[in-house]
Amino acid sequence: MPRNHTFLAALLAAFTLSLPVAHAQTATVVVPQEPGSLLPHFDLLSIAHEAQDLVFERLFVIGPDGNYLPELAAEVPTLENGGLSPDGTTYTIRLRPEARWHDGTPVTARDVIFTWRVITDPDLPIPTRTVWQDIDAIEAADDHTVVITFPGPNVTFLGAAAFAGAYVLPAHLLEGSDLNASPFHRQPVGSGPFRLVEWQAGTLLRFERVDDYWGENAELDRVVLRVVPGAEAQRSLLERGEVDLVLQLAMTELPFVNALADYEAVPVPTFANWQVWLNNEDPILADVRVRQALVYAIDRELIADALLGGLTEPSDAALPPSHWAHADDVRSYPFDPEAAEQLLDEAGWTRPTPTAVRTRDGAELEIEIINIAGQADRLQVIQAIQSFWRDVGVRAEVRSIDAASFPPTLGAGEYQAAYGFFGEQQEPTWNLWLGTNWQRYDNPEAFELLERYSVTIDRDERRELAVAFQHLVAEDVPVLFIAPRPLLAAATTDLEGYAPTTATSLWNAARWRK
């Protein structure tokens, strides 16, 4: 090579090395639990929905301001655009014609109808069928138009269709298959901006950008969900700067995160309550006096201040104070051990000495509380409840189970009490009551109010029905509400675009960048 060519080649190489390198954009997200399944509608845990949000899409999503936004639908049906009939019974949903599954097949009305059939199939272990089961007719007007009809006015469909787990399924890949044994549980094919490429059990899930995604391609190259259940292990990752986001941050970690220079605590909007499910069909808990006593016995203000970061206050209403339909004048249960003891005495549970466990007909008053294994912050609350109940003569034992087993265990009624949280939508679908009803609540008057709610067009009238329902629930105590759930995430200051909603935190991960 001539000398001047050698010199030019060397100069070009030096110039190339000096150019900035475009690094792969990876967002690492810490989650406290491993999803049980990535096949939508089979796993009710919120972490499963977060993971599914990367792969699948809904007809609509809930934006940060609480308004509905179209996702697979071309628009949100309203009276003005003709998508909602004047009598409120029929929704006409027009799908985006450009939407595609990851294998290139178009998303069509057939997929929406198939999804409805899956959700309402009584032979499948679907934990909630709220609203979808009320559909009277569903049909395809054409390949990209679905017409859904209810027997009467229905105001809750948009909330159900935008619910965290209401993802549309690919009929051409799943129809006629055994969904219980489907490989989709761990190898899903969706229409979203990312696809799952690796799942290391108990450790991580790795998602990569779909480069031929039908919409606007993701800014990120990949999203990694790391399963880290313990606060101490999460602290180590934050201190070393190895993660971009920690979901469901324990309230006790707020001071620690605030002291970190490169992270900030982000409030996550929620209409959820921390609560203790009580199996109302259990021989002990079927007595309303026992349920009321268990609430009186707990110093919920102390729990809120000491274990929930002082960011919330106890409430006895089914909807938290932040919700527009919250009832603020329901029966309340302030910390009152004497009232608890009196109710237990009336129910026939007596104690021979002030420190003994109460008995009735020779049987001890013992309640088992289920907790999700590895959730130390939840365990602290349960241990506090144990202590308060012990003071009034109730023995409480804790049984830890894995996250994937939590919904089916409660769904089968194989429990007495269980601690966790449950949330509602901006427009309530009453999933805790009309959907899962893990508490086995049976009050025809209360359920009639909810049925009237779903067909009432006027918002003020709906609020009156919601308030009346919350009054009945506060009297019956089918669920023991601890306090509204303050939800926090820890996000690196380098992460742009993170905008959590009442539905999920990863709904717009395609628009994140670092």
Q: Which pLDDT value is given to residue 139?
A: 98
The pLDDT of residue 172 is above 90: yes
Tell me how many domains the chain contains: 1
Q: What is the mean pLDDT of the chain?
A: 92
Q: Is residue 44 part of a domain?
A: no
The pLDDT of residue 281 is above 90: yes
Which carries the bigger pLDDT value, residue 396 or residue 163? Answer: 396
Q: Which pLDDT value is given to residue 20?
A: 35
* Domain of 352, in residue numbers: 272-485
Query: Domain of 357: which CATH number?
Result: 3.10.105.10
End-to-end CA, the chain: 44
For 226-254, what is the mean pLDDT?
A: 93
Q: Is residue 399 part of a domain?
A: yes
Answer for the pair 175, 114: CB distance below 8 angstroms, yes or no: yes
**Tens of pLDDT along 466-487?**
999 999 999 999 999 999 998 8
Residue 68 CA to residue 175 CA, distance in Å, equals 29
- The CA radius of gyration of the chain, in Å to the nearest whole number, is 25
Q: Is residue 400 part of a domain?
A: yes
Answer for the pair 382, 388: CB distance below 8 angstroms, yes or no: no
Q: Provide the percentage of residues in the chain whose pLDDT is more than 90.
A: 83
Pairing type for strands 366-372 and 395-401 reads parallel
Residues in CB range of 112: below 8 A, 6 or more apart: 59, 93, 95, 138, 146, 168
For 202-223, what is the mean pLDDT?
A: 97
Q: Is residue 259 part of a domain?
A: no
DSSP conformation letters of 294-330: HHHTS-HHHHHHHHSTT------SSS-TTSTT--SSS
For 91-104, what is the mean pLDDT?
A: 98
Specify the 3-state DSSP secondary structure of 287: coil
CA–CA distances in Å: residue 210 to residues 220, 221, 396, 510: 10, 9, 49, 10
Residue 332 CA to residue 341 CA, distance in Å, equals 17
Which carries the bigger pLDDT value, residue 354 or residue 385? Answer: 385
pTM above 0.85, yes or no: no
Answer for the pair 73, 96: CB distance below 8 angstroms, yes or no: yes
Q: Which pLDDT value is given to residue 449?
A: 97
The pLDDT of residue 459 is above 60: yes
Q: Which pLDDT value is given to residue 376?
A: 78
Q: Provide the percentage of residues in the chain whose pLDDT is more than 70.
A: 95
Residues in CB range of 201: below 8 A, 6 or more apart: 34
- How many CB atoms are closer than 10 A to CB 247? 23
Considering only CA atoms, which of 207, 119, 132 is closest in space to residue 169?
119
Q: Which pLDDT value is given to residue 245?
A: 98
Q: Is residue 298 part of a domain?
A: yes
For 429-443, what is the mean pLDDT?
A: 94
The pLDDT of residue 179 is above 50: yes
Q: Which pLDDT value is given to residue 250?
A: 86
Phi, psi of 351 (to 5 degrees): -130, 130
- Residue 272 host element (H or E): strand 272-278
- Residue 385 host element (H or E): helix 376-391
Given pLDDT bands bounded at 50, 70 and 90, which one contains residue 374?
confident
Q: Is residue 217 part of a domain?
A: no
For 52-81, what is the mean pLDDT?
A: 94
**Tens of pLDDT along 213-238?**
999 999 999 999 999 998 899 999 99
For 295-311, what is the mean pLDDT?
A: 93
Answer for the pair 193, 215: CB distance below 8 angstroms, yes or no: yes
The pLDDT of residue 14 is above 70: no
Tell me the two tokens of residue 472. Answer: 């009945």
Residue 374 CA to residue 493 CA, distance in Å, equals 28
For 486-510, what is the mean pLDDT?
A: 94
- Residue 360 host element (H or E): strand 359-360
DSSP count for the chain of H helices, then E strands: 14, 19
Q: Is residue 291 part of a domain?
A: yes
Considering only CA atoms, which of 317, 280, 331 is closest in space to residue 442?
280
For 284-310, what is the mean pLDDT?
A: 96
Answer for the pair 297, 337: CB distance below 8 angstroms, yes or no: yes
Q: Which pLDDT value is given to residue 425?
A: 84
Q: Which pLDDT value is given to residue 23?
A: 52
Q: Amino acid identity, residue 32? A: P
Q: Please count the CA atoms within 13 angstroms of the CA of 430 that sit on its side-chain side.
A: 24
Q: Is residue 294 part of a domain?
A: yes
Residues in CB range of 225: below 8 A, 6 or more apart: 29, 30, 31, 50, 51, 204, 205, 206, 207
